[in-house]
């Protein structure tokens, strides 16, 4: 995406969301499906706040409390059945709205809107493909034979919860939607 933006003449950069170094440069910051990968939300919000001009707005949507709960439970369970794999480490941050609102306010924001929204999402490529993409960091240390076992066992555990003959696989997404403003 950065290369595409640059090819179109836009200035685009890759930055660590926990180490933003802008100062009152932007009227708005938008984030979609990224903040749940940043497990230090205080640092992220301090950086976003600093980067905004007075009156600037911050709009985001990301995984909130309950997001992929069945998926996380299934992955943790499968790891618990294979102690030699090590401990399951959840790489995501899925906050409750009240918790995130407090963090926003502590960073200096005025919260205009915050809501948890269930959003079941069809997985047209199936559960295994979703796991291969989004759980790669969880199983990176495993040899390929163990990764195959992981995919099979997680899929078996999730089939009664997230699969139907009519709809196929559906991920149990729950999104936290946020609109906050930097005070003038």
pTM over 0.95: no
Q: What is the rounded distance in angstroms from the CA atom of residue 28 to the CA atom of residue 176? A: 18
pLDDT tens for each residue of 85-108 = 999 999 999 999 999 999 999 999
For the cut 90, the answer to whether the pLDDT of residue 1 exceeds it is: no
Q: Which two tokens stand for residue 69?
A: 């709960």
Parent domain of 87: 2-182
Residue 125's pLDDT is what?
Answer: 95
Measured distance CA(171)–CA(183) in Å, rounded: 37
Q: What is the pLDDT of residue 10?
A: 93
Asked if residue 159 has pLDDT above 90, the reply is yes
Tokens of 145: 């034979």
Instruction: State how far the Cα of 45 lies from the Cα of 37, in Å rounded to an integer.
Output: 14
Beta bridge partners of 182: 109
pLDDT band, residue 13 (cuts 50/70/90): confident
How far apart, in Å, are the Cα atoms of 37 and each of 29, 31, 75, 80?
Answer: 17, 12, 17, 23
* Res 184 pLDDT > 90: no
| CA 22/CA 47 separation, integer angstroms | 8
Q: Tell me what the mean pLDDT of segment 17-30 comes to.
A: 95
With pLDDT > 90 as the criterion, what percentage of the chain qualifies? 95
Residue count of the chain, please give it.
184
| CATH number of the domain residue 129 falls in | 3.40.50.150
Span 68-92, mean pLDDT? 97
Mean pLDDT for the stretch of residues 71-77: 98
Nearest CA-CA partner of 60 in 28, 83, 82: 28
The token duo for 87 is 């401990």
DSSP string, 79-108: HHT-GGG-----------HHHHHHHHHHHT
Token pair in block for residue 83: 């102690």
Domain count along the chain? 1
- How is 10-33 classified by DSSP, letter by letter? -------TT-----S-EEEEEEES
């Amino acid at each position: 995406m950065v290369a595409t933006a640059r090819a179109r003449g836009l200035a685009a950069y890759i930055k660590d969301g926990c180490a933003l170094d802008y100062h009152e440069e932007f009227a708005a910051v938008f984030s979609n499906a990224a903040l749940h990968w940043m497990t230090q939300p205080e640092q992220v919000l301090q950086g976003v706040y600093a980067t905004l001009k007075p009156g600037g707005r911050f709009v985001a949507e990301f995984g909130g409390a309950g997001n992929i709960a069945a998926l996380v439970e299934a992955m943790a369970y499968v790891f618990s059945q294979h102690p030699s794999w090590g401990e399951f480490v959840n790489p995501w941050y899925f906050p409750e709205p009240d918790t995130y609102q407090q963090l926003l306010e502590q960073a200096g924001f005025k919260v205009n809107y915050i809501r948890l929204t269930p959003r079941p999402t069809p997985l047209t490529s199936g559960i295994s493909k979703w796991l291969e993409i989004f759980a790669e960091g969880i199983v990176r240390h495993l040899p390929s034979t163990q990764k195959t076992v992981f995919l099979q066992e997680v899929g078996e555990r999730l089939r009664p919860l997230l699969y139907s003959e009519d709809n196929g696989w559906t991920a149990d997404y729950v999104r936290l939607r946020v609109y906050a403003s930097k005070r003038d």
